Amino acid sequence: MKGFSLSKTKTPVAKLPYEKIKNDILGHKYVVSLVFVGQKRAQTLNKTYRNKGYAPNVLAFPLDDSCGEIFICTQNLKTEAPKYDMSIRTYTAYLFIHALLHLKGHDHNDTMEREETKYLKRYSLI
């Protein structure tokens, strides 16, 4: 079984070393499914699994100790990237790294932010 799968989408997906980043953060044995979704699907997932009514930019769901799913909302990528002065590619990488760190067990805090910055620099994204 591969350690990473990327869904096919109508929206062009940023070319990034997704599997390499996943392996760097979670290891080779951890399996991640990455899905790019629209706002309706993101909102439905958020309501169903988190009881929140908005469309988030990213969701990360650990399925067990060695497997998880990440959903990134493509519309939110386009609208939010300029707000953070990032390209779509960099913001996609940021959200992916952010979700991987959640799958690893990190909560939002200064340590997580430092880790996000470290990986963005490591992959020459900032």
Residue in 94, 92, 96 with CA at minimum distance from that of residue 78: 92
State residue 6's pLDDT score.
63
Looking at residue 126, its pLDDT comes to 86
Would you say the C-alpha torsion 18, 19, 25, 30 has a positive or negative sign?
A: positive
The first and second tokens of residue 10, run together, are 């109508």
Q: CA torsion angle for 83, 85, 91, 97 (degrees, to 10)? A: -100
Between these two residues, 14 and 101, which has the higher pLDDT value? 101
Q: What is the DSSP string of 77-118?
A: HHHHGGGGT--HHHHHHHHHHHHHHHHTT--SSHHHHHHHHH
> Mind listing the pLDDT tens digit for each residue in 56-113?
999 999 999 999 999 999 999 999 999 999 999 999 999 999 999 999 999 999 999 9
Whole-prediction pTM value? 0.91
Domain definitions of the chain by residue range = 4-122
pLDDT digits (tens, 9 = 90+) for 36-50: 999 999 999 999 999
For residue 8, the model assigns a pLDDT of 55
pLDDT at residue 1 is higher than 70: no
17-27: average pLDDT: 96
CA distance 11 to 88: 12
Q: Which fold has domain 4-122?
A: Collagenase (Catalytic Domain) (3.40.390)
Instruction: Enter the tokens of residue 48.
Output: 């169903």
Per-residue model confidence (pLDDT) at position 5: 64
